[in-house]
Structure 1
């Protein structure tokens, strides 16, 4: 055993001297984000999380959904769905409707933290600028840790496992109607409480 260990060290030393080893992966510095990984907050309208998901109708058409969730009461404030995906204008529409639903025709008095993953629709310059105009403070999860937006990830899992898996979705029109009912049921019956 000692000879085998010695031989491995000799081979390693020779490979290192002849620059035949791969470079070590550099250490990733800790993120300087304000978000610490704790998503839940004590009061409504302190933090909202945004995310999206996709599912297929029975005829093969895909429906892509983006939503806003309050990190206190877990209410799905607003959502949008489309067959073509969602871009920054769709995300901005959802942001605006969310602010209108929670604050009427005024902006929040204190900034609401707007927690998202690093999807291009959420991190686009225009989207972040629009968020600040609505008094939403953009905050993203670490690239290597989308699970740090766990509340939104859990909501996606709930929607897929308890609603979408059982709702009729032969084509997009029916799926959208049933998806609207699923969001309403989620908010009114509080399976998340």
Structure 2
């Protein structure tokens, strides 16, 4: 199973995700992009200002159709240098956390159960998982605190 996700680099929230038994197709990537924009900007079909969208160099991310779609919804598509996963460290750290703290402990007898458990894991991560960079708050706790302070 492969998971495509959109992670906010400011508050660490996993804004959207999709799991497939195939690869990271352009259709899946575009669905995740749109869901991230809608989730973050209240069902808007475009960001209010251009936002950088950093990915690796997988074909689903670098396809012309995906890059054009990203631009159309207000995202500036950027890719990490080839063979340089450390340049996308926040995403790599997120994957490590999900595998270590969630996937390792969840039952996965079949794809349907795995996806159901992934949904629970993503929700727990966003609501409960503390981050040192967020003063040991979860992504959503951090967002709520920021909203109250403005």
The two structures have a TM-score, normalised by structure 2, of 0.84
Query: What is the Cα deviation at residue 89 of structure 1?
Result: 0.6
Alignment of structure 1 residues 49-64 onto 2, 5 Å: 63-64=1-2
Alignment equivalent of 1:167, drawn from 88, 106, 118: 106
| Aligned counterpart, 2:129 | 190
| SS, match of residue 120 in structure 2 | helix
Q: 1:167 and 1:191 mapped to 2: Cα distance?
A: 20
Runs (5+) with no aligned partner, structure 2: 135-150
Whether 1:95 aligns to 2:30 is no
Q: 1:77 and 1:125 mapped to 2: Cα distance?
A: 23
Whether 1:71 aligns to 2:9 is yes
Runs of 4+ in 1 over 4 A off after TM superposition: none
Q: 1:105 and 1:173 mapped to 2: Cα distance?
A: 27
Structure possessing the higher relative contact order (Cα contacts under 8 Å, 6 or more residues apart)? 1
| SS, match of residue 52 in structure 2 | strand
Deviates more, 1:148-157 or 1:98-107: 98-107
Runs (5+) with no aligned partner, structure 1: 1-62
Identify, as 1 or 2, the structure richer in helix: 2
Query: What is the Cα deviation at residue 114 of structure 1?
Result: 0.2
Query: What is the Cα deviation at residue 83 of structure 1?
Result: 1.1
Cα RMSD (Å) of the superposition? 1.0
Query: What is the Cα deviation at residue 172 of structure 1?
Result: 0.8
Q: 2:95 and 2:43 mapped to 1: Cα distance?
A: 29
Whether 1:150 aligns to 2:71 is no
Instruction: Please give the per-residue CA displacement for 1:165-187, whole angstroms capped at 9, x wherever unaligned.
Output: 01111111111111100000000
Q: 2:87 and 2:121 mapped to 1: Cα distance?
A: 25
Query: What is the Cα deviation at residue 79 of structure 1?
Result: 0.1
| SS, match of residue 102 in structure 2 | helix
